[in-house]
Structure 1
Amino acid sequence: MRIVLEGGQLSAAGLSLSAGRTFVMKCGGSTLQELPESFFKDLADLQESGSQPVIVHGGGPAISETLGKLGIETHFVNGLRYTSEEVLDVVEMVLAGSINKSIVRRITGAGGKAVGLSGADGLLIQARPVANAAEVGLVGEVTGVNQELIEGIVKLGFLPVIAPVGVSKEGQRYNINADTAAGAVASMLGVRQMIVVTDVPGIMKMVHGEKRVLPSVTVQEIEDMIQTGEIYGGMIPKVRAAIACISGKVNEVIIVDGSVPGILGKVLNGDSVGTRIVRM
């Protein structure tokens, strides 16, 4: 079964994956590479216990580094990398190549079973040009997900590790924002909660002169905190990335620190960890 765009809305009726046991995790490629081995052991243990992790990863810093080494100029338009065919060659090489396979190796080394995929494999992530394609080049928005492929991989006992490169039915590749791709995959799998793994414990706020992690915030509260300066610097792109994951059936995104022992199990058990960002 493929999930497709119907009347402007993503349709995901008839899924046979158990949304209660499936969770989608989004993580930047650089963050994943910095995580301790215990994190990957936790992933393997969750998989062994019957949970069904699905990972969507990014890799912006590594892409920029490789472009620099190759002498290929790049720039950003409203947070999106301008993507020419030349840039897209590097994006695909880094995301679907070195980063994706590094994640798979670490999961396998921890005793798990994983398969690395690009969104172009089997029309896994179907895409079309974004509305402002004239400004950003070959950047795409998700129009469909091959849920049957994800389901088949999971049924074989493997954890899908997905690089966010999309493709049209005509074979045109697109650079897909990792947060957007993760939110679309989570929504179309019927997952209402998504985990964003970072290197911070959550959204922090000064309370009685002490910085504390906020257990829950709404999207509007985040925007207000950015305006007042309570969220600043490097935390702004982290929270905006999490907000971007909220789409369709995804009602909340949990920001957690991947270095905390057993963090994924704690989230799935409903423990009060990290910060929950909710729609309303």
Structure 2
Amino acid sequence: MDSSLTAKVLTQAMPYIQKYAGETIVVKYGGNAMLNEDLKAAVMSDIVLMQLVGVNVVLVHGGGPEISSMLKRVGIESKFINGMRVTDKETMDIVQQVLAGKVNKSLTQHLNHAGGKAIGLCGLDSNMLMAEKMVTGDDLGYVGEITEVNSEVINDAINDGYVPIIATVAGDYKGNVYNINADIAAAHIASKIGAKKLILMTDIRGLLQDKDDEDSLISVVNVSEVSQLKREGIISGGMIPKIDCCVEAVRQGVSRAHIIDGRIEHSILIELFSDEGIGTMFY
């Protein structure tokens, strides 16, 4: 990139940097961006840059592929119902070890090595995420619904200059531990801490008018339009829970929620600091 183009990019980014300095952005990190090392490095550098220009970042992560890999290694078959992992006691022990241990600490190390300042947390720390057993037509075991977000430890980390990296396991007051969907956890956290934006990283461009045509991206959606889009079948399948998270976050006070394509390097920076943005924005 020549110097004049570099200057143009920085000039375009400046009003957005001013807009988000001092604000908090919650990023749900998952999909291919967690598995591909080049994409992972790009995400880490994006977050470091955001820290450097004064944006507070909270990184919420899942780890489905790593959990499935570990279960296979110990001889436990992964079972899913309607896209949700059936989590018996033995499986929950593995989920907790992988998410709150291996994945969380690896991401913390990556961000620190990239020049950021990160601290690894999970929903059990300081009773951050409290939950109860999810009740559905099928027994999913230790899959939980969040009942309470205690944000003190998150806010303390932010105020001390850290990026909290949060693994989505939660507890109850009886000592049970639950597996929590990371999109849902990110939406609850964003609402509780008064985040300016919620960003969900996925493996598709965003909401598509035609699910088989990635060029049919719908860039902007008012949350009042979502019910109609569901009736028309434009929002269907696995997109429903993700979009429901965005809708709930916006209704609970988050200014904007975004579904962006984590397969694109520096997608977070493109969304935050450029005129064109990326993915689908809900307001």
Fold match by TM threshold 0.5 = yes
Which residue number corresponds to residue 32 of structure 1?
A: 34
Say which of 55, 59, 67 aligns to 2:71: 67
Paired residues for 1:1-280 under 5 Å: 21-28=23-30, 30-34=32-36, 35-132=39-136, 135-191=139-195, 193-205=197-209, 211-217=215-221, 218-220=225-227, 222-224=229-231, 227=233, 236-238=237-239, 240-247=241-248, 248-250=252-254, 252-269=256-273, 271-278=275-282
Distance 2:154 2:240 in 1: 27
1:30–1:84 Cα change, 3 Å = farther
Distance 1:183 1:213 in 2: 22
Amino acid at match of 2:26: V
Deviations 1:153-179 (A, max 9, x none): 111111001010001123211111111
How far did residue 118 of structure 1 move? 1.2
How far did residue 213 of structure 1 move? 2.6
Distance 2:255 2:80 in 1: 29
Deviations 1:119-149 (A, max 9, x none): 1111111111222397111111111122110
Q: TM-score, normalised to structure 1's length? A: 0.80
How far did residue 54 of structure 1 move? 0.3
Amino acid at match of 2:51: Q
Say what the alpha-carbon RMSD is for the aligned residues: 2.8
Say which SS state the counterpart of residue 44 (structure 1) adopts.
helix
Where structure 2 has 5 or more consecutive residues not aligned to the other structure, the ranges are: 1-19
Distance 2:51 2:124 in 1: 25
Say which SS state the counterpart of residue 246 (structure 1) adopts.
helix
Distance 1:173 1:131 in 2: 15
Q: TM-score, normalised to structure 2's length? A: 0.79
Say which SS state the counterpart of residue 253 (structure 1) adopts.
strand
Pick the structure with more helix per residue: 2
How far did residue 46 of structure 1 move? 0.8
Q: How many residues align?
A: 254
Where structure 1 has 5 or more consecutive residues not aligned to the other structure, the ranges are: 1-17
Say which SS state the counterpart of residue 201 (structure 1) adopts.
coil
Say which SS state the counterpart of residue 54 (structure 2) adopts.
coil
Percent of aligned positions with the same letter in both sequences?
35
Amino acid at match of 2:129: I
Distance 1:268 1:20 in 2: 14
Pick the structure with more strand per residue: 1
Say which SS state the counterpart of residue 238 (structure 2) adopts.
helix
How far did residue 70 of structure 1 move? 1.1
Displaced runs of 4 or more, over 6 A: none
